[in-house]
Amino acid sequence: MSSAYGQVKKGSLKFKGGDSSVKKKKKKSKSSKEKLEKALREGSEEFKTVYQEVEKTEAERKFEETQRRRQMERVYKAATKSHKDRVQEFNQKLENLSEHHDIPKVGPG
Task: Tell me which of 50 and 24 has the higher pLDDT.
Answer: 24
Going by pLDDT thresholds of 50, 70 and 90, the confidence category of residue 49 is low
How far, in whole angstroms, is CA 73 from its chain's centroid? 25
- What confidence tens digit (pLDDT) does each residue in 81-102 have? 888 998 999 999 988 887 776 6
**Report field, pTM of the whole predicted structure over 0.75:** no
Going by pLDDT thresholds of 50, 70 and 90, the confidence category of residue 52 is low
Residue 90 to residue 94: CA distance in whole angstroms: 6
Other residues' Cβ atoms within 10 Å of the Cβ of residue 71: 10
